[in-house]
A and B are shown apart, each in its own frame.
Chain A
Amino acid sequence: MSEKVLMKGNEALAEAAIMAGCHHYFGYPITPQTEVAAYMAKRMPKIDGGVFLQAESEIAAINMVIGVASTGKRVMTSSSSPGISLKSEGLSYLAGCDLPALVVNVQRGGPGLGGIQPSQSDYFQATRGAGHGDFHTLVLAPNSVQEMVDMVFKGFDLAEKYRIPAMILSDGTMGQMMEPVSLDMGEIKEYDKSWALTGTKGERKPNIVNSLFLEASELEKFNFERFERYKQIEENEAMYEEYRMEDAEICVVAFGVASRVSHNAIDEARKQGIKVGMIRPITLWPFPKKVLNAAADKVKAFISVELSMGQMIEDIELAIRCKKPVELCNRVGGMIPSTAEVLEKIKEVNGGVK
């Protein structure tokens, strides 16, 4: 089982979902995510009880997800940026109903229909709760095909543990590229699902899954309770990876494909004697604030490398309480910064803070 196979990120993600016990998938095609749906269409019919359904729209798909999620079964939908906007109402309902589910966003350039090349410009949308009302979605940002798999397992696990929707925030590069991947996943943890709608068989009171509370004090109570859980998530579930940070004077912060490019730029800068490292957030919400704040006491400056006009940079500044300058290194619209461009920014910042 541990033999590695070459798979596209999108296909590996889909297979991982099936292995994680997700036997219900609802989707609608959109580049660069379509392989997820295509893979599910091929595999699900061969699985006992497996359901693949291409809905009439993204909105229909997310509402079907709500239906399955309310029965306690693992369920997934996937799309790319414009499609995620359509699903945002459903995300708010999932959060309001305290339902676990996995939503995948293989990002492309925007706004509007934008383009089909890789992007990270849905960062705000993903991390601020993509919909109305006070809520969060757990956001996981893989930077390899292996992590596309690992984050599926992690996403379902945390979604069920805390009863919140989880999102994998990927991008066109991660979805389209192939890398060796192992589909070992360990055991699936079982969580209490006594809330699920599974039929009373006349033996218990009916469960109710609902997000409508006309009594203001009652709705307030549920919001407070939900944010107690969010506090636990922020306390316990932030994930990150450090690279060459031991003696770093400059800290690059990047996730997804931007972190892969930054990896090369950092190696190159180190060869030239510049003390630079990277903190790579793996969860974007919860954002790894503590490690960044601790780094702010050691480094001279931060560089946020992202495929957006500068969205994560705000979270970095908040996390470090603006103790140190944070510079932006970005390309947008489907463009990806080259290693040379990131290296140039590192050199510029290094010169500026000496």
Chain B
Amino acid sequence: MTTQILIAGFGGQGILFSGKFLAYEGLIEDKNVSWLPSYGPEMRGGTASCSVILSDEKIGSPIIDKPDVLVAMNLPSLDKYEDSTVENGHIFVDSSLISREVKRTDVNVHYIPATKIASDEGLTGLANMILVGYIIKKTGVISIENLEAGLKKVVSARKQDLFDLNKKAIELGYNYEK
């Protein structure tokens, strides 16, 4: 089984970081993983994206043409990648930043006001990890069991407060009910 996850939004939303967390979770679960960032002009304020592939098989191209899971953290990203998402795939939308609905009817659509939840809960800047929690819940692409082990790989041990905040954000997303 291979899952191709494309996370896209503005630079500064933690797109690459959330992708790195997912990749580490995959590694902990003994999957083959690849993580490919967009780099260059987009990084400096425009759209940023991150391609994460988790697979039980050897991974060929690290480039994602057709995502199984699309995570849109701004409107331009939803506009750009909605059509390329595979049939019966998943599209996650931060509904506090994107006002329109997903047009596709052949995919599983998940709306979550991640940015609003983050700001209400004192987790400003962690909408990305709230989304990650919601992805884990809705797709089961990785197990929630290894949450702490994965976080330890991406958050420096010296920053315990950041570790706790990230964990809280993931759990909020995981337990989110409409």
Nearest chain-A residue to B154 (Cβ)?
A: A6
Distance between Cα atoms of A227 and B147 in the complex (Å): 57
Q: Is A177 within 8 A of B62, CB to CB? A: yes
Q: Is A116 within 8 A of B65, CB to CB? A: no
B23, B35, B60, B65: the one contacting A338 at CB < 8 Å is: B65
In the complex, whether B115 has a CB less than 8 A from a CB of chain A is: no
Q: Is B61 within 8 A of A116, CB to CB? A: no
Q: Is A260 within 8 A of B61, CB to CB? A: yes
Encode contact with A along B88-103: 1 for CB under 8 Å, 0 otherwise: 0000000000000000
Q: Is A178 within 8 A of B61, CB to CB? A: no
Q: Is B60 within 8 A of A261, CB to CB? A: yes
- Looking at the assembled complex, report how far the CB atom of A21 sits from the nearest CB atom of chain B, in whole angstroms: 28
Q: Is B63 within 8 A of A172, CB to CB? A: no
Nearest chain-B residue to A261 (Cβ)?
A: B61
Q: Is A6 within 8 A of B36, CB to CB? A: no
B23, B36, B65: the one contacting A340 at CB < 8 Å is: B65
8 A Cβ contacts from B24-68 to A: 24, 27, 32-37, 39-40, 58-63, 65
Distance between Cα atoms of A4 and B40 in the complex (Å): 28
- Looking at the assembled complex, report how far the CB atom of B81 sits from the nearest CB atom of chain A, in whole angstroms: 14
Interface hub of B23, B36, B40, B61 (most chain A Cβ within 10 A): B61
Q: Is A172 within 8 A of B20, CB to CB? A: no
Q: Which residues of A contact B138 (CB under 8 A)?
A: none
Encode contact with B along A251-266: 1 for CB under 8 Å, 0 otherwise: 0000001001111100
Quick one: given A173-B63, A179-B33, are A6 and B39 in contact (CB under 8 Å)? no
B20, B37, B58, B62: the one contacting A6 at CB < 8 Å is: B20
Q: Which residues of B contact A180 (CB under 8 A)?
A: 27, 32-33
B23, B32, B65: the one contacting A178 at CB < 8 Å is: B23
Interface size class of chain A, counting residues whose CB lies under 8 Å from the partner chain: 20 to 34
Quick one: given A116-B40, A178-B23, A180-B27, are A6 and B61 in contact (CB under 8 Å)? no
In the complex, whether A110 has a CB less than 8 A from a CB of chain B is: no
In the complex, whether B153 has a CB less than 8 A from a CB of chain A is: yes
Distance between Cα atoms of A339 and B60 in the complex (Å): 10
Q: Which residues of A contact B23 (CB under 8 A)?
A: 6, 178
Nearest chain-B residue to A263 (Cβ)?
A: B60
Q: Which residues of A contact B63 (CB under 8 A)?
A: 173, 257, 260-261, 336, 338
In the complex, whether A63 has a CB less than 8 A from a CB of chain B is: no
Distance between Cα atoms of A267 and B24 in the complex (Å): 26
Q: Which residues of A contact B33 (CB under 8 A)?
A: 6, 179-180
Quick one: given A177-B35, A178-B23, are A339 and B40 in contact (CB under 8 Å)? no
Nearest chain-B residue to A116 (Cβ)?
A: B40
Q: Which residues of B contact A31 (CB under 8 A)?
A: 39-40
Q: Which residues of A contact B60 (CB under 8 A)?
A: 260-264, 267, 339
In the complex, whether A32 has a CB less than 8 A from a CB of chain B is: yes
Q: Is A6 within 8 A of B35, CB to CB? A: yes
Q: Which residues of B contact A338 (CB under 8 A)?
A: 63, 65
8 A Cβ contacts from B153-167 to A: 153
Q: Which residues of B contact A267 (CB under 8 A)?
A: 60
In the complex, whether A117 has a CB less than 8 A from a CB of chain B is: yes
Nearest chain-B residue to A178 (Cβ)?
A: B35
Distance between Cα atoms of A180 and B37 in the complex (Å): 15
Quick one: given A172-B39, A178-B20, are A6 and B153 in contact (CB under 8 Å)? yes
A32, A117, A177, A261: the one contacting B34 at CB < 8 Å is: A177
Distance between Cα atoms of A263 and B32 in the complex (Å): 15
Nearest chain-A residue to B33 (Cβ)?
A: A180
Q: Which residues of B contact A172 (CB under 8 A)?
A: 39
8 A Cβ contacts from B95-114 to A: none
- Looking at the assembled complex, report how far the CB atom of B80 sits from the nearest CB atom of chain A, in whole angstroms: 15
Q: Is B36 within 8 A of A176, CB to CB? A: yes
- Looking at the assembled complex, report how far the CB atom of B19 sits from the nearest CB atom of chain A, in whole angstroms: 9
- Looking at the assembled complex, report how far the CB atom of A282 sits from the nearest CB atom of chain B, in whole angstroms: 16
Q: Is A339 within 8 A of B61, CB to CB? A: yes
Rank and list the top 7 A-B pairs by shortest CB-CB distance, nearest first. Answer: A263-B60, A264-B60, A178-B35, A261-B61, A177-B36, A260-B61, A264-B61
Chain B residues proximal to chain A, CB less than 8 Å: 20, 23-24, 27, 32-37, 39-40, 58-63, 65, 153
A177-B37, A257-B63, A260-B59 are known contacts; what are 7 more A-B pairs with Cβ within 8 Å?
A6-B24, A6-B27, A116-B39, A117-B40, A173-B62, A261-B63, A339-B60
Could you list 27 examples of A-B contacts with CB < 8 Å?
A4-B27, A6-B20, A6-B23, A6-B24, A31-B39, A172-B39, A173-B62, A176-B36, A176-B37, A176-B39, A178-B36, A179-B35, A179-B59, A180-B27, A180-B33, A257-B61, A260-B60, A260-B61, A263-B60, A263-B61, A264-B61, A267-B60, A338-B65, A339-B60, A339-B61, A339-B65, A340-B65
